[in-house]
Amino acid sequence: MSISGAHDPTRLPGLVAEESGATLGALTYRAGPGEIEVVTLNSAVENRGVGSALLAESRRLAEAAGARLWLITTNDNLRAIAFYQRRGMDMVALHRNFADTVRLSKPALAPPSTGEIPFRHAIEFEYPTPGRPSPDDATAPA
């Protein structure tokens, strides 16, 4: 589920990373007017650059289309938050109480978090778009 609604990743366009016929990772996305939303990003192997390569290719697609590339992750997914920031994405919005929305539509798939950080919110990331002010620029005094 995303802030843009529920999406079936099997019906979305995507990118696949393969090596010797084995799937190493996949990314699915939703394209809308002026934007591309990364809906899923999965890697079967860690620390080999698969997720980075898939994200870079989705960025290339967005730039070629003149579109904003964005995604969300949950506040309890610290690895994802660090991953996106290390790859130059900006944190642009906090969607408070997103977990409540998810639990209403998918109660079996989204039980309350059992980790140290409870799943409560969604954090929206995007790549800076040329010609568009960054979030820091938008809040800077004039």
CATH of the domain at 14: 3.40.630.30
The pLDDT assigned to 136 comes to 53
Within a domain: 136: no
The pLDDT assigned to 141 comes to 45
Within a domain: 3: no
Within a domain: 74: yes
Strands 35-43 and 122-126, bridge-based pairing: unpaired
Q: Where are the alpha helices (DSSP H) in 1-142?
A: 50-65, 78-86, 98-105, 135-139
How many independent structural domains does the chain possess? 1
The pLDDT assigned to 99 comes to 84
**pLDDT per 10-residue tile (average), the chain, 142 residues:** 70 94 96 95 93 97 95 94 97 91 71 72 88 52 44
Within a domain: 104: yes
Within a domain: 22: yes
Within a domain: 75: yes
Residue 38 has phi, psi (to 5 degrees) of -75, 120
**Backbone conformation region of residue 109, classed left if phi is above 0, alpha if psi is from -120 to 50, else beta:** alpha
Show the tokens assigned to 12. 């979305």
The pLDDT assigned to 26 comes to 97
Host domain of residue 46: 9-130
Q: How many CA atoms lie within 13 Å of 47's alpha carbon, on the beta-carbon side? A: 0
Within a domain: 28: yes
